[in-house]
Chain A
Amino acid sequence: MNTLKPRVLLVEDTPDIAVWLATALRQAGLDVTHAADGRLALEALAPGHGLDLVLLDLQLPEVDGLGVLEALRRRGDEVPVLVLTARASVPDRVLGLQLGADDYLSKPFELAELEARIQALLRRPGRMKSPLLRLGALEMAPDTGEVLWQGQALALTPREVAALQALLTSPQRPVSKDALHERVFGAEAAEREAVEVLIHRLRKKLETLTGAQGVRIATFRGMGYMLTATTDV
């Protein structure tokens, strides 16, 4: 596991949510800082903040969430932002994403879903200090293609690595068969069934190698495949 905890700023004005959410996220191994309003959030997000992720409520005193997001993106800060909102007007979702939010979750949410999305955002290459792609105890170095499970190297073929990487880099979204075909086989004239065979093999390997509490490949009919961890984080 990475010894350096990911640093997360939680911007939330409701104490009941802030306190318990921070506790939950700390237990999940994150270094959580809390800001109770938009101005404090912007102070915490001063250049050189070194944060890995911002959880941003939209309805805030002082400066509202969209204002914080806009200020952040205007000065070229690309820190991943996950917007949390309880507002009824759905266009906020569109507006939030247009202003440069990376993901969006409406309140109330499942704690596990929030954590999964946080992990997905932290996993994005280039976002983290560590270049590793991670899902739970599964780690991958994208440049070398080395895959570790609880620190132990897994023996995978290059195509399996390519497929796994495609799945690891798609946070919380299923990867379609066509996309996998493109990523793994490229211009090769392989049949589409080759993807199914490859995923079947990779799924078996992950089941045996990572055990009962390990990583699984879920199939969503018509949508594609998604990597899931049976243990949270």
Chain B
Amino acid sequence: MSERRALSLRWRLLAGLLLPLLALIGVNAWLVYDRAVQAANEAYDRSLYLAARTLAEDLQWRQGQLHLDMRAGTGYLFENHTGARLFYKVTDAQGQHLMGVPDLPGLQGEHTSAERVHFFALVDFADARYRQTAVRLAQLTHVVQAQEAVVMVTVAETREARDALIQTMLRETLGSQALLLLAVVVLVLLAVRRAVQPLQRLRSLIEAKADEDLSALPGHWPPELQPLVGAINGYTQRLGRLIGIRKRFLDNAAHQLRTPLTALKTQLGLMQRQTEGGDPALLQAAQRTTDDAVRLTAQLLALTRAEHGPDMDRNTRVNLLEMARQATEDHLWRAHARGDDLGFEAPDIAPVVQGNAVLLQEALANLIDNAMHHGGPGSHITVRVTAQGFEVEDDGPGIATAHQPHVFERFYRAAAAGVSGSGLGLAIVQEIARQHGAQVRLQSPLRDGSGTCIGLTWPDLTGSA
């Protein structure tokens, strides 16, 4: 199953804004450049036209010969002040060379009428090559005064200055557009960051929420986020209601299940004392069945509580020595009544772990209960606190190797036929261990082929005061 990764909002915004902007800036740059080139060409063409015009004004017909009386101003026009070189020739209307450089190419009628209108004169422009150099030509049709003779004045200019100007324009256009682009990217990035900031605030608010905190998210949100925050709040509220229902159910179920069992046990206890001539075996069987129901109820409730207890703080310091002593003490009465030997072994230092004392005690209680239940009356059971955790050892029949990987699964029963059990006790232990980052260690059989030792160990526990 390939999972498509959702594009981040930031990238969506960036891509959505920057790509079109990039294209727009590109088009804009091209337009600006084109316009600049046009303007530059126009300006150069105008000065080329002026040069041709001025030259033409200086033409004189004298004794049937064409003379060029170049005035100072005209010379100035032809001076090499822009780095470009100017050439000229004059021909008659039929193209017969009259004056200037004869090999300068002329215009063969490829007139650009728009430019002609532009200058209110009979002038044509063209690009051409002269002596392996690209040149711009202007060809003016001129009538020399007095003689009424029509001549064609052609002026050519090399393109260095023009090209240099165009290149400068190109550079500047590209430079300014690049700067603009950079500014846009930075601004868009900043704006996107600002725009997604409420989202990040939302994220950190939700992340910082404690597990049991089901209150609504506080604060004012942008209109775009309000439906989302509202939806989250609505969901949390529904969740809180469900958890509340479950918690109440847990309380009620506990009460509802335990109350008749209490009555039953009291009645059986009373009956046991009063029985005269009844069947003591039947009574004992009834008591055993009741005790199984009690045990199962307790385990189901314990498992539910371990898994779903929403009001259980799992971050207090728990002194394992005190906890284990309390759990052992709670079982002394029953162990003694059954004739079991329930012992307690403790180190000099008290190991302390982070967690919930009630749940850990529940885990240990289940281990003791398990040992008592499967060992039969008269078992020797030892609750042992070590520097690494705690364990319960018994001298019961042990757990067959084949069963060992499964005994922590729910409702798995490894017990011999005839021993009742819910298969929940060790599942509870496992669940609580998991929640506390502890490892469950099982060893069976022990030294002499019988016995079981199950314990919780914290690998990183060094034992502190």
Q: Which residues of A contact B (CB under 8 A)?
A: 14, 16-17, 20-21, 23-24, 27, 59, 86-91, 106-113, 116, 172-174, 218, 220-223, 226, 228
* B259 contacts partner chain A, Cβ-Cβ < 8 Å: yes
| A residues near B273, Cβ cutoff 8 Å | 24, 27
The answer to whether B266 and A24 have CB atoms under 8 Å apart is yes
| B residues near A174, Cβ cutoff 8 Å | 329, 332
- With A17-B259, A88-B305, A223-B329: A108-B265 Cβ-Cβ less than 8 Å: yes
Closest to B344 in A: A222
The interface centre, meaning the residue of B261, B262, B264, B333 with most chain A CB atoms within 10 A of its CB, is B262
The answer to whether B270 and A221 have CB atoms under 8 Å apart is no
A-B contacts counted at CB < 8 A amount to 104
The 4 A-B residue pairs with the shortest CB-CB distance, nearest first, are A221-B343, A111-B269, A222-B344, A88-B254
The answer to whether A220 and B358 have CB atoms under 8 Å apart is no
B335-374 interface code vs A (CB 8 A; 1 in, 0 out):
0110001111110000000000010000000000000000
25 contacts between A and B (CB under 8 A): A14-B263, A16-B259, A17-B259, A17-B263, A20-B263, A24-B273, A27-B273, A88-B305, A89-B251, A106-B258, A107-B258, A110-B334, A112-B269, A113-B333, A113-B334, A172-B333, A173-B329, A220-B342, A220-B344, A221-B342, A221-B382, A222-B344, A223-B328, A223-B344, A226-B332
The answer to whether B261 and A108 have CB atoms under 8 Å apart is yes
| B residues near A106, Cβ cutoff 8 Å | 258
A106 CB, nearest partner CB in chain B, Å? 8
Number of interface residues of B (CB under 8 A): 39
* B418 contacts partner chain A, Cβ-Cβ < 8 Å: no
- With A86-B254, A89-B251, A90-B358: A20-B266 Cβ-Cβ less than 8 Å: yes
B275-309 interface code vs A (CB 8 A; 1 in, 0 out):
00000000000000000001000000100010000
A11 CB, nearest partner CB in chain B, Å? 14
The answer to whether B301 and A86 have CB atoms under 8 Å apart is no
| A residues near B258, Cβ cutoff 8 Å | 86, 106-108
| B residues near A24, Cβ cutoff 8 Å | 266, 269-270, 273
The answer to whether B250 and A110 have CB atoms under 8 Å apart is no
| A residues near B264, Cβ cutoff 8 Å | 108
Closest to B358 in A: A90
Closest to B384 in A: A222
| A residues near B334, Cβ cutoff 8 Å | 110, 113
The answer to whether B251 and A87 have CB atoms under 8 Å apart is yes
Closest to A221 in B: B343
| B residues near A14, Cβ cutoff 8 Å | 259, 262-263
* B260 contacts partner chain A, Cβ-Cβ < 8 Å: yes
The answer to whether B337 and A110 have CB atoms under 8 Å apart is yes
The answer to whether A109 and B262 have CB atoms under 8 Å apart is yes
The answer to whether A17 and B266 have CB atoms under 8 Å apart is yes
A58 CB, nearest partner CB in chain B, Å? 10
A223 to B358, CA, bound (A): 21
| B residues near A116, Cβ cutoff 8 Å | 333
Closest to B335 in A: A220
| A residues near B251, Cβ cutoff 8 Å | 87-89
- With A23-B270, A108-B294, A218-B336: A86-B259 Cβ-Cβ less than 8 Å: yes
